[in-house]
Structure 1
Amino acid sequence: MENNNLKKYIDNFFNDIELYDDYRNGHNYKGLLKSSIDMFLDYSSVFNAIRVYEMFFGIYQITSEDKSSAGRYGDNNIEPNIILDIIELFLKYENKVNINFSVPIHSVNVFIMGLAIYSQNNSYRDVFKEYVLSSPYKKYYKDMDNEFSNEEFLYRWGITSLLFDLAMPVELLSKPLKKRMTDEINSVFENYDELNHINLADIDESNFIPKINYDFADNYRSHYYNSKFLDLFKPTEVMAHRISENFRFNNEQMRLLTNHLDNFVDYMEENEFIDHGFVSSVLTLNFYGYLIQKYRKNHDFFFYPVVDSASAILLHNYYRNILQRNPFNLGSLFIQSHPLAFLLILCDEIQHDNGEASNSFAKSYISTIEISDKNLDIEYILKNAFGFNHSKYKEEFIRHSLNVETCFLRGIRIFDRYSVEKDENNLRDILKSEIQPANTSIRTVEKLANQLHQSYIDSVTAQYEEEKSKGEVNEWTKQRYEWLTPFEELSSQLIMANIRQAESIPKKLNFIGCEIAELSDEREAITNFSDDETLDLAICEHERWCEEKISQGWTYGEVRDNDNLIHDCLVPWDELSPEIQQYDIDLVKEIPSLVESCGFKIVKNKISLLCLEIIKYQDDEFSLLQTGDFSGNNRYINFIQTNNLIKTLSKRGYSIKDLSDDRKPILEFGVDERDLASRQHEEWCKIKFSLGWNYGSKNDNEEKTSPYLVDWYDLDVSKQNHYINIIRNLPKICNEVGLKIIKN
């Protein structure tokens, strides 16, 4: 595996295909589609992903004409493109929910990966061709020699891969937003009476195919006798029949599947989840069923290629979550049973986390890929130890879901390689993403904001008085002095700037293991920060300032221009001049006195206290926390590990509280003890990987190898006992620092 071969594979795919509209109607749609894919491969942005959507659904738009138009706004494209309109609407709502990856980028990645596998794997191509030719569908795409064309795959796979995550936002939208989205969908279709009652708040109401032509299903029923009792204007029953045919279910199995899908909305509500694949498949059939009837297209065009794509969309979650469990108990999916579903499950998992995460801490990307008839080999670059045993779990997931040998003779091999930045920067980024500030009341924030402004007034006044006493007042100093005004008289923008800076103080303090407390708190007040802590706080403040400026429209420029929102300090910390760095350093040095002037004090938080106490229970190279000097990298590692310990306890139903809490503390973890210990080992491995460590036969600080970077069950018993000892003593450790553990 020398390089990422995707571009070469995509070139091969398009070299082996001719599009019907190109040779029949004189278009160059193949060139347009390939150009959009090439641009995406060069730079995988949302903008370029949308271009791929527009090209594909422009080329394959269903209109009243026999030909289609690539591009939505051409002179010949007078019909609205319903599919693109609905995609735009769903993408708009993606920005309203917390999805940790970009749906269009992920979907286009899946689309491209499927094209590459089809291009390079003869087994898949042969199975797909036989799958199409053995069905009653005879209107499939054909080449100039009237033979089976690869365009049939392109069409079915494009619908499948580009629409399978369409309804992802619906999983996370609140009911009011679902209602608003429903209203917008219906406004898009206000000129189409048959489509004006989509309801995302109640998916059952959308489980229909508009009835425009009552003969719509007759031809399909003539080919499939056992479909005559089904409502073929109902997506769930259409997909149940298609899946039953594909998997050769008997009548009882088909009845069971039909009932389950008909009642799947209730099933999801009872189990408090939404399967976006189910919603996407229902909407796909809804829209395409309407378009094909409206424009009097051959109804086979719906019941074979479109239903094939929709059932694959359904199966990409439904197969492993439902069909591989009771009462169906299906094994891993064979490629012959449903080629599109097989490919979608495979490509979705391969491309999952492929550079699409919104949080740079949790990101991986494909470095190299080799596809042939015999094997599929993929190497991922993992940043910051994202996904300990990433390759193992990915391979296990794929093998559980798919019978990969039916496509790749030697199976699938997945490799991981770690990309490690400078240890200190890497750990700082991890800590920033993991540590959350303690809740701070608006009363405290208001006091801090007022005091921040007062400190500014005092600073400007002192500078003005000093320059005035020397008889040489700088014009900028004079102007700032004349602009001084009480906090309550500031503009809304300046008030919020002070509020945001005040709100950042608790989070910055948490970053160094501190928090704001009442003066009556028994913990010792911290009046000065160490040099390491001061530098950390200064870097955090600069990054906060940059984020605020950028959010307000400022951009970087070598020469500052306030009128045009250009600032020369919008650069990483290391690129700032020492004078500008010192400004932030001086600012954070004032935090203790600022907090004190508001009637509070700064103290060590529970993470710091637990860190220091846990260290007393360990003294070897394999410590959960780092012993020795409690600064620099050691401090980062200890904070991260202790924070992970607290989160692990929370996931298992435990909380750490002050001794003043009136709930009864636990004295031991019982059956949870070993599970908690194994989870902490996994977290320890993640931190080691993030620093560039790998497995080795001996512990070597120079080479960064350790024999303990293995699964829990492969770990030496003495090392397992080390973790277990920490967990076993944790109630006692907490008590030593004024804390206790309770069971929620």
Structure 2
Amino acid sequence: PAIEVGIIGNNTIMQRLIINLALNSHYINDQKLKIYVSHNSSEEFSAFIREYQLNKILEIIEVDFEELSDKTNITAIYICENDELKLMQYVKALQESDTLSNVKRFIFIEQSNNITSLLPAKQNTIIDISQEIGVFDNVINESLDDLAKTIHNDYITKLKEKDKLEPDPEKKKLKADDATHQMWDLLPDEIKDRNRLQADHIDVKLRSVACKKAPIDSPKEIYDWGNDPRIEALSGAEHNRWNAYKYYKGWKQGGVKDEQKKTHPYLIPYEKLDDDIKKNDRNTIKHIPDLLEILGYKAVSQ
């Protein structure tokens, strides 16, 4: 079944949250994340959804606040509200709800205040946007950048290895004029960000199979990643993540890859891909332990 969450709010914080969920919420269940959204500006919200093609990535259902209580499978509630009175009204109503009273709440505000400090910490996670740099965006830190560089440079190395075996110059994979075929320091920022998103999603994939990363010298036994029966499901999740990023950037499915028109033939569900193309996603998944090892980590069971 699909994972279901609720979002309450009507501001740019809510929009940034939805984009973050669109780019990162791709799991081995191969289901779109289902989001119930309660807000006050339908026309503006609809324009936002269209701009980023979010309905191709998420299942978004607009509801009145009162309707949220009818949803029995919600696993988390995100509240994006700066008005203290409205915030407390939402929390009070959720606490009194038969179906949502025990659901974990994440409260995004632009500045913490005395009222939010009174909320019980066990069920309410307060996230102060003014203090939390990069709450939604991938923080460009050294660890994430190192992993992103490793992913990209490994991609270039594999292209070079394939080209050595290809006698026809026209069929060689590595193209000098392709912006994605440069070493890390020469890449455009957008392509670097794309690699950072892939690197950041590795933790999501690890959690999907009840794993986490640990220092390479940890006494915990390394997880037998290569023999996990969910490799194919993880490969599908990786392709869904790639699709989501393309949709977010304005791309559409097309017969040929065209940077100007933003069309790509592989912007389709994973199961419809030719097996040769699926191998790219499978290799990405199978190579995760190697990437972690380069950075001094290993995958272990939680």
**Normalising by the residue count of structure 2, what TM-score does the alignment of the two structures yield?**
0.56
Look up the SS of the partner of 2:89 in the other structure: coil
Task: Provide the rounded CA distance (Å) in 2 between the counterparts of 1:592 and 1:529.
Answer: 9
Name the residue aligned to 1:274: 89
Amino acid at match of 1:173: E
Q: Does 2:161 align with 1:462?
A: yes
**Aligned twin of 1:513:** 210
Q: Secondary structure at the match of 2:165?
A: helix
> What is the distance in 2 between the residues matched to 1:515 and 1:462?
31
**Distance between the aligned counterparts of 2:65 and 2:241, measured in 1?**
37
Amino acid at match of 2:169: V
Q: What does 1:132-211 align with in structure 2 at a 5 Å threshold?
A: 172-174=80-82
Pick 1 or 2: higher relative contact order, CA cutoff 8 A, min separation 6.
2
Other-structure match for 2:136: none
Partner of 2:55: none
SS in 2 for 1:273: helix
Residue 496 and residue 478 in structure 1: after superposition, are their counterparts in 2 closer, same or farther (change >3 A)? closer
Q: Partners of 1:164 and 1:493 in 2: how far apart?
A: 37
SS in 2 for 1:516: strand
Letter in 1 for 2:266: C
Per the TM alignment, residue 549 of structure 1 is displaced from its structure 2 partner at its CA by 0.6
For 1:211, the equivalent position in structure 2 comes to none
1:600 has 2:297 as partner:
yes
Partner of 2:242: 545
In structure 1, what is the equivalent of residue 230 of structure 2?
533
Structure 1 residue 494 and structure 2 residue 191: aligned?
yes
Contact (CA 8 Å) 1:535, 1:585: kept in 2 or not? Answer: yes
Q: Give matches, 1:144-543, under 5 Å.
A: 172-174=80-82, 273-274=88-89, 442-467=141-166, 470=167, 472-474=168-170, 477-480=173-176, 484-526=181-223, 528-530=225-227, 532-543=229-240
- Cα distance in 2 for residues equivalent to 1:461 and 1:452: 15
Asked if structure 1 preserves the Cα contact closer than 8 Å seen for 2:13 and 2:80, the reply is: no
Q: How does 1:561-572 map to 2 (within 5 A)?
A: 561-572=258-269
Q: Report the CA distance between 1:584 and its aligned residue.
A: 0.9
Q: d(CA) in 1 for partners of 2:174 and 2:90?
A: 63
Indicate the percent of aligned positions where both proteins have the same amino acid: 22
Pairwise CA distance, 1:95: 4.3
What is the CA–CA distance in structure 1 between the aligned matches of 2:301 and 2:91, rounded to whole Å?
45
Q: Deviations over 1:355-374 (max 9, x none)?
A: xxxxxxxxxxxxxxxxxxxx
Q: Secondary structure at the match of 1:529?
A: helix
Equivalent residue, structure 2, for 1:7: none
1:168-216 deviation line (CA, Å, top 9, x unaligned)? xxx7423xxx5xxxxxxxxxxxxxxxxxxxxxx7xxxxxxxxxxxxxxx
**Secondary structure at 2:212's aligned position in 1?**
strand
Residues 516 and 602 in structure 1, CA contact (< 8 A), matched pair in contact too: yes
Cα distance, 1:525 vs structure 2: 1.7
Q: CA deviation at 1:445?
A: 2.0
CA distance in 1 between counterparts of 2:299 and 2:164 reads: 32
CA RMSD in angstroms comes to 3.9
Q: Tell me how far apart the structure 1 counterparts of residues 65 and 160 of structure 2 sit (CA, whole Å).
A: 62
Query: For residues 283-306 of structure 1, what are the alpha-carbon distances to aligned partners after superposition, in whole Å with 9 as ceiling and x for unaligned?
Result: xxxxxxxxxxxxxxxxxxxxxxxx
Q: Match for 2:37: what amino acid? A: F
Deviations 1:350-390 (A, max 9, x none): xx99xxxxxxxxxxxxxxxxxxxxxxxxxxxxxxxxxxxxx
Q: Which amino acid aligns with 1:454?
A: N
Whole-Å separation in 2 of the counterparts to 1:477 and 1:579: 14
- Find the counterpart in structure 2 of residue 623 from structure 1: none
Determine the C-alpha separation between the residues in 1 that align with 2:186 and 2:221: 37
Q: Is the 8 A contact 2:14 2:80 kept in 1?
A: no
Amino acid at match of 1:535: E
One-letter code aligned to 1:449: A
Q: State the partner residue of 2:276.
A: 579
CA contact (8 A) 1:542 1:584 kept: yes
- Cα deviation for residue 541 of structure 1 reads 0.6
Task: Give the aligned residue type for 2:89.
Answer: I
Query: Which digits, 9 at most, give the CA deviation of each residue in 1:406-430, with x for residues without a partner?
Result: xxxxxxxxxxxxxxxxxxxxxxxxx
Deviations 1:548-593 (A, max 9, x none): 1111001123443332111222222222222211221122111112
| Contact kept? 2:266, 2:273, Cα under 8 Å | yes
What is the rounded CA distance, in whole Å, between the counterparts of 2:176 and 2:283 in structure 1? 20
- Residue 499 of structure 1 and its aligned partner are, at CA, apart by 0.7
Q: Structure 1 residue runs of 4+, over 6 Å off? A: none
Q: Matches of 2:286 and 2:258 in 1, distance apart?
A: 29
Write the distance in 1 (CA, Å) between the matches of 2:266 and 2:214. 34
TM-score normalised by the chain length of structure 1: 0.24
| 1:464–1:481 Cα contact (<8 Å) kept | no
Aligned residues: 203
Residues 94, 464 of structure 1: alpha-carbon distance in 2 compared, 3 angstrom cutoff:
closer
8 Å CA contact retained: 1:460, 1:481: no
State the 1:453 CA deviation.
1.3
Give the corresponding residue for 2:253. Answer: 556
